[in-house]
Amino acid sequence: MAAQQAQQNSSRHTVRIGLGPLSATDLVAVARTGAAVELTEESMAEMARTRAVVEGLAADPVPHYGISTGFGALATTHIPTERRAQLQRSLIRSHAAGSGDTVETEVVRALMTLRLSTLATGRTGVRPSTATTYAALLNARITPVVHEYGSLGCSGDLAPLAHCALALMGEGEVFDADGVRRPATEALAAADITPVQLAEKEGLALINGTDGMLGMLIMALTDLERLVRTADVAAALSVEGLLGTDDVFADDLQQLRPHPGQAASAGNLRRLLAGSPIRDSHRDPAACTRVQDAYSLRCAPQVSGAVRDTMAHARVVAERELAAAVDNPVITPDGRVESNGNFHGAPVAYVLDFLAIAAADLASVSERRTDRFCDTSRNHGLNPFLADDPGVDSGQMIAQYTQAAIVSELKRLAVPASVDSIPSSAMQEDHVSMGWSAARKLRRAVDGLTRVIAIEILTAARGVDLRRPLEPAAGTGAVITALRAHVDGPGPDRHLSPEIERTVALVAAGSLLTAAEHAIGALD
């Protein structure tokens, strides 16, 4: 079994984890594509060096937090030498107190990878053998069962990380490489992994970090990079299908308000709409008496651009956090063991909430454009709801309902989690970040945004098709062609839900964005 696993790992990309920060790209590779991990020689040496510091303090009659004391509000309780192994086991067992649905595999792999990255810095004082066994779990694709509820986002994502540490001890439940839920002791034995017998401080080092919320932030940013460009594709289709103007996206107008995200979005819209026969059909002022388009069309780059700028700020926070070694206490490079508050999740929690707000607003403006297609007073000559035979057919009527329901949910998810705090641990931990909760709702927001953008593309493509014999631009036309390989064009009513789900899958996979970029080049 071990030989077979080694062969599987050798065929996969391997991420080296060492003293320097882990990259977001490498994290996503381990979390989502099953890339293997390998600890560098430098990290092994540094872990061995700082472990010697911990072992020296373990023999000290003076209590040291995390080494010879209890935890949290019990930090003043001195633990005798013969009971310290029990202390570490008890810490993990008691803190593995999650509840609710199981968390997605990619989230668990992300938080484990980030915890391993911190262990590899040597700042936590764990034994090198403990870190290598943790890496072995990842490489064997053994995923501990982690539950939805249990983290307050302070003192780290305690419960989620404790469930991972429990599996490292050969206890609790896991999903094996085949996705089968089974006892950890069985899965580890099948992978030839010997469970770890935790030593001084190791239990605390395994659970004290912002790894869950940070992993979810990085994966959300990865998804939003794709979605914000796809939102520009959707907006371009809507501008074209609703006989809007691209004049307002001119570069000199954007430079009057020099937000970088806005400039990028407007540039995308100009390129997507370049050379559109539909647009050219109503350039003559005598034939088109409208002075201005509605805000949802005219202000598309201002909204999409603001999302980009919010993402840029969140990316800075994520990069700083990736460079962090979060534990309490930490072993400093000069050998001191110091308590600190670096585990507090506020920096990450704030940007997670900020991104949920941005996602909700980007979805909101998308839904407004879809609604315009459905209304004969605003869709400039198209049938009501883009129906083939209005009255007999309902067209896109209920697709917009679905979109509206999702947008309403996204507005609820935009309510910040990080403004809440419930004291815990007998008031020792009297202010917490709720960053895990912020991350969980952002994941739902990203899913909702994906669906809203997909429904706009589905609707706008139908609207553009109904403008024939006028042809769309090269960029938008390529998107419609890609969509039509999976979803039929205008016609009598069909079962709509499968078409929505197929479009959602295309948006989530980036297929429609890729089609546009193949036609006109990479979008910003």
Cα radius of gyration rounded to whole Å, the chain: 27
The residues near 80 (Cβ < 8 Å, ≥ 6 apart) are none
User: What whole-number distance in Å separates Cα of residue 29 and Cα of residue 217?
Assistant: 15
Q: Determine the Cα–Cα distance for residues 114 and 117; give it in Å rounded to an integer.
A: 5
Of the candidates 309, 220, 237, the one whose C-alpha atom is nearest the C-alpha of residue 461 is 237
- Given phi > 0 = left and psi -120 to 50 = alpha, else beta, which region is 320? alpha
Q: What is the dihedral of CA 450, 451, 453, 457, to 10 degrees?
A: 130
What DSSP letter does each residue of 140-208 carry, written as one string? TT-EE--EEE---SSSSSHHHHHHHHHHHTT-SEEE-TTS-EEEHHHHHHHTT-PPP---TTHHHHHH-
CA dist 506 → 29, 455, 519 (Å)? 21, 11, 17
List 65, 295, 350, 401, catalytic entry: 65
Tokens standing for residue 354: 């900020």
Omega of the bond leading into 329 within 30 degrees of 0 (cis): yes
- Rounded to whole angstroms, how far apart are CA atoms 331 and 271? 53
Q: Is the peptide bond before 333 cis (omega within 30 degrees of 0)?
A: no
382 contacts 459 by C-beta, under 8 angstroms: no
Tell me if residue 295 is catalytic. no
Provide the annotated active-site residues: 65
